[in-house]
Structure 1
């Protein structure tokens, strides 16, 4: 049984819960509360973890030896105790955790199904990878809407491959989601260091506890990220690798400056005036991506490097948008833009790019001399379930990017018929008015009106925006409460 087989089997367990009225998205939340306990047991039994992180009452054996109402009541009590744990990390993972299951037989069947899975291949491939597979499965379901928190793994792998995070560097994602960028960076470093065994004990401790930091606004998403990190052997500080907070509020100001910044900030504009409340950003804006980009530039160490996924509007928006781009090209050497295909995120109509840049200094000017643009969008396949995005689709870009993580390897301009071209800073200013939305290939696959997203997709996007607005308002209220105290 492969990891993918186990993921599918876990996913099929959703059918068990349908009678309790639990949908796909709720199912993942329901499953991970129990699955983390099981995986922690498996990790300890196999020697991946040296000791149990969970207290005695939350050990897997306590659930397998119970049945019926006794099991359901015990499970509810265990979740409550875990949410009140004196261990801040356990308390964070199980914050506000409660089961939606009402039928004891459904919980019992879920426990028996998890207990009956052959975990040998999961241990071989990594329990963390299995867990990530489950998150990916959830994001790919059209009815879940979870894709807003999920960056496609082939894209993450490609960014990690060219950025090349190293042991000893600090890596930050200020919009961490389920932790995909941080996990991938950790995995790459472990592959180069024989699972950290090439490092000294002090260096290993740094990698486990201090190398990675993220911030996430949504409590349930942060729960997934914390579990994801722990199952990959990433512990972080007493708040875990991913902290709970609003990067665009005061919490973001306290994030450290980092060597590497990797992020896919949330799309959209803050609604109802609930924009960024930080006073350390140079340009005031309600556009979340422009605010996140300013945070990333500000919190990137001099000489540090970044890769950020951003929608097209950041490349061409006038006014503050142009100011932020000029500021970016002054303080940083923006060396590469990757124009991504449409349809690789759950919001099918969103057009995105990856900006790769190196920080020169906060006081620098005219740091960007030239920008290379790789157009992966024009005449690209329509990606989706029938044509999934894979690492192979990025092979030509990786080759064109070169082996230097800061894009300093020798490159070749492929001309008007090619996908990779060089544009001088002077040309961008004089011919484009500092717009970075640069395209030259005729796109025969351009979407027409018939290719607009389905109404259900548009509705999910609206719901996601509303949820984000509510979360921002709650964060503002929480801050006001702190001030009142």
Structure 2
């Protein structure tokens, strides 16, 4: 048995490989190169180990060895393996060689890896620079990865590589600031959403803006047997590729992840209607501007385009068309229309959705009148990459038996850990939110169960402070003490002034 490789060792080599690009390329771009290389190294090492096992098992019988290899998760010819690319690391056309290998790898595994590598170019002058600099960077990355052994017998637990992949995505998201939030939801927030929706065995779980897929994996992990079916859609091609690799590295081989704009072109359909899911989670882009441009067709160049409910063949906007500059309720309505009877969904949104008027107010009223909203949870500020604004989670459920709505204000300083660049939810903070939600109770200065009538009286405004009073009374001011402090300060000042006069006298001024 080889010596085990730890997650820390893998992470260290990965971060070292990332150093090759740092300072030259934006981390929101170079992450694709590092994570693709990690995936290729993992596939190559696993295949290499299995080939050694089959050679022993079948006493070198080539026919039986090849038959066994063809049943592996991935088919890898010699000229697409990491070892082959490493042997070519000094070739002046190394970028081209890597591209060809990835293209061939896709073609050989078209059912599983179709389109995974199409959006990444290892020979790109515009991203990686001119030939000399580009070749030197690629050689350095191949040399760094060559230090890693990712054979299953050496790595041990299957999820070690998945954890490292996740670790890198989170590091890149943190590095990339605003752009980081586009492909990654902070781990603890994903954990909270996953616990709130409580998935069950055989559920179909869906994320319409799935980013790198980490949120979906968190939800799947809530089911001990992992017997769930995962669906997602992502608009950004590179991020979609990351999500597919992420699934395989977490041993989820049957995830159905589509590439495209969920609002104008939803791709999870059944009999030309939106597919229904038992659990839905999402962290859509906050207040997405021009969210409806995909519906514009030929008129897209015409700035006068105005979205109309009739343009959507799936009739998702009949409760109201969200403002063109704020797509929040477009995603909410898409999710509600995709939610199965009795299904539950939780989504992260900016606080504006709770109280903004016009068409958003109309949509909100409709959702409340249909008794679909189960809870509103206010989160601490500074949890998300690239934005300091506090967000909330809205939990929805179809066929609710109760008519109340639970409000939780988890934004107080006792409910999170302050970080230098980013605040964090601790385990106890998540547990407190989940327990309060499951028990559905009013807790002074933390949560409040509001009746339908109270919400109506508030004109369907869901702003959390209207329901949860977190006001702390300040201790009464002791005026005698204040007066004494002022007198003390005055006499101190007098003393300093006298000293100053003495010094000036000594200096003859």
TM-score normalised by L of structure 2: 0.73
Residue 396 of structure 1 corresponds to 432
Aligned residues: 408
Larger radius of gyration: 2
In 2, Cα distance between the equivalents of 1:252 and 1:353?
Answer: 27
Whether 1:165 aligns to 2:194 is: no
Residues 159, 335 of structure 1: alpha-carbon distance in 2 compared, 3 angstrom cutoff: same
Whether 1:219 aligns to 2:237 is: yes
Shift of 1:387: 4.9
In 2, Cα distance between the equivalents of 1:10 and 1:63?
Answer: 18
In 2, Cα distance between the equivalents of 1:161 and 1:45?
Answer: 39
Secondary structure of the residue that 2:375 maps to in structure 1? strand
In 1, Cα distance between the equivalents of 2:368 and 2:257?
Answer: 29
Bigger shift: residues 87-96 or 134-143:
87-96
Residue 53 of structure 1 corresponds to 74
Whether 1:341 aligns to 2:353 is: no
Shift of 1:112: 2.3
Deviations 1:136-160 (A, max 9, x none): 0111115572122211111111222
Q: Which has the higher contact order (CA 8 A, sep 6+)?
A: 1
In 2, Cα distance between the equivalents of 1:11 and 1:269?
Answer: 32
In 1, Cα distance between the equivalents of 2:291 and 2:312?
Answer: 17
Q: Would the aligned equivalents of 1:338 and 1:376 in 2 still touch at CA under 8 Å?
A: yes
Whether 1:131 aligns to 2:150 is: no
TM-score normalised by L of structure 1: 0.76
In 2, Cα distance between the equivalents of 1:148 and 1:437?
Answer: 26
Q: CA RMSD in A?
A: 2.8
Deviations 1:34-79 (A, max 9, x none): 22111223445677x9714243132223223333116444213223
Q: Give the gaps of 5 or more residues in structure 1.
A: 197-203, 362-366, 403-409, 445-485
The 5-angstrom pairing of residues 47-126 of structure 1 reads: 51-56=72-77, 57-69=79-91, 71-82=94-105, 87-99=110-122, 100=124, 101=128, 102=131, 103-119=134-150, 120-121=154-155, 123=157, 125-126=159-160
Deviations 1:414-438 (A, max 9, x none): 13xx2111111110111x2101112
Residues 392, 42 of structure 1: alpha-carbon distance in 2 compared, 3 angstrom cutoff: farther
The 5-angstrom pairing of residues 20-419 of structure 1 reads: 21-44=24-47, 51-56=72-77, 57-69=79-91, 71-82=94-105, 87-99=110-122, 100=124, 101=128, 102=131, 103-119=134-150, 120-121=154-155, 123=157, 125-143=159-177, 145-189=179-223, 192-193=224-225, 207=228, 211-236=229-254, 241-251=256-266, 254=269, 255-271=274-290, 274=293, 278-279=312-313, 280-281=315-316, 282=318, 283-285=320-322, 286=324, 287-360=326-399, 369-379=403-413, 382-385=418-421, 387-402=423-438, 410-415=439-444, 418-419=445-446
Residue 469 of structure 1 corresponds to none
